[in-house]
Amino acid sequence: MTVDSDSRRAFLAAVESQDCSVAEAAVHLARIDQPRVEWARPLAELDRLGAEARRRVPAGDRRARIDALCRFLYGEVGFHGDRMCYEEPRNSCLNEVLARRAGIPITLAVVVIEVGARAGLQLEGVNFPGHFLVREPGRLHARGSRDILIDPFHAGIVISRADCLQLLRAHAGDEAALDPAMFATAGKREILLRMLLNLKRSYVRLHAFPQARDVTELLLTLEPSGVNELRDRGLLSYQLNDFSPALRDLQGYLRQVTPPADEDAKAEHAQIWEHVKTLRKRIASFN
């Protein structure tokens, strides 16, 4: 797969546009994986779900409103976390999540946020490590009100900081500790970058290296200073025997990073140097 130039332009424009919602941009992202996606259909489904949710979400108590929204989406409509096929690319495609009623935390979060907005709730994404969350910010209410955190993968349950610590340690190990920065709000750009990263990882696991490189190109377009993406694009080009771009990217990566002290990172750094030496020899032999 090579990303169609029209799909690429539409996605990048949607990311940058102030008038384009997260859902609209996410549909353009889905068209990178599935070029024939009908752009309007997923948005119409969100509108339909939003109209239904608006009839079920009561006025008044904020917790009751959130509970009503999640009962509707997870209980009535049947959205759920896809434990069986978690790493499949379709879980990063909003149209598939809406059709199958299944997804991963970040795509389910987009559904909750977008349907919630149509029902009158102001929800936002939380870029929590390893497990994207949804928040209704306390600042929207009286001074001193607490945030309400929602786990979009587990039926939209409201979770505590202790629950967040468990999620973090499941992802990062038993010594991991919570940090306020882990609860940073994820705007549209951050959500879409994370969705792209998920899609790239899915392709790599499937050894779909051309697709993974296409997505890495998009990540670098959005974040040109991303040295890890530069490294990954070089490694993917190396896997694809595209030697000149691989050498360019891996040399660029090595110029920008300081040799690490950590043993694992040091071994990776050394391996990239070996790739560079091999690529130089191969390219020289073509001349």
Q: From CA 193, how far away is CA 9, in angstroms rounded?
A: 16
For the four alpha carbons of 276, 222, 38 and 41, in that order, the dihedral sign comes to positive
Q: For residue 95, which of 168, 17, 169, 29 has the smallest C-alpha distance?
A: 29
Amino acid at 238: Y
Q: What is the DSSP letter of 39?
A: T
Contact between 112 and 70 (Cβ < 8 Å): yes
> 150 pairs with which residues across the strands?
134, 158
pLDDT, tens digit, 9 for 90 and up, residues 21-46? 999 999 999 988 888 888 789 999 99
- Domains, the chain, in order of start with CATH, read 5-186 (no CATH), 189-286 (1.25.40.10)
Residues in the chain predicted with pLDDT less than 70, given as ranges, are 1-4, 142, 144, 287
Q: For residue 32, which of 88, 86, 87, 92 has the smallest C-alpha distance?
A: 92
Contact between 169 and 176 (Cβ < 8 Å): yes
State the pTM of this model: 0.93
pLDDT, tens digit, 9 for 90 and up, residues 108-152? 999 999 999 999 999 999 999 999 999 999 887 767 689 999 999
Edge-to-edge, what's the strand order for the sheet holding 157-159? 157-159, 148-151, 133-136, 124-126, 185-186
pLDDT, tens digit, 9 for 90 and up, residues 92-101? 999 999 999 9
